[in-house]
Amino acid sequence: MDELSARRLRNVIAVLTEQRNIVVSRGAFFAGHLIDLSIMQLRLTLHDISEEELSEFSNVLTVSLAASPRIDGEA
């Protein structure tokens, strides 16, 4: 991705983040969640991370969290 495209994506992310904060502050939590998903997708594109890589990372993180002891002391 060239620098101009990357800069544009970063600008869109900034605008979407502002919009997300506005809609959530007005109680539209589901709309905020949808905007979060859009921001995540743009960040994946910006950093050239595929959905497969994200899925694999999620799987590894899930296994790691399931194997580690809970913070509150419960097993």
pTM of the model: 0.75
Query: Helix %, strand %, coil % for the chain, to 5?
Result: 75, 0, 25
Q: Which of these, 39, 40, 34, 51, lies nearest to 14 by C-alpha position?
A: 39
Q: Give residue limits of the domains in the chain.
A: 3-67
Q: Closest by alpha carbon to 24, among 34, 11, 15?
A: 34
Position 40, amino acid: M
The pLDDT of residue 39 is 96
What pLDDT score was predicted for residue 25?
A: 98
On the CB side of 72, CA atoms within 13 Å amount to: 1
In the prediction, which pLDDT does 73 show? Answer: 55
pLDDT tens digit sequence for 9-61: 999 999 999 999 999 999 999 999 999 999 999 999 999 999 899 999 999 98
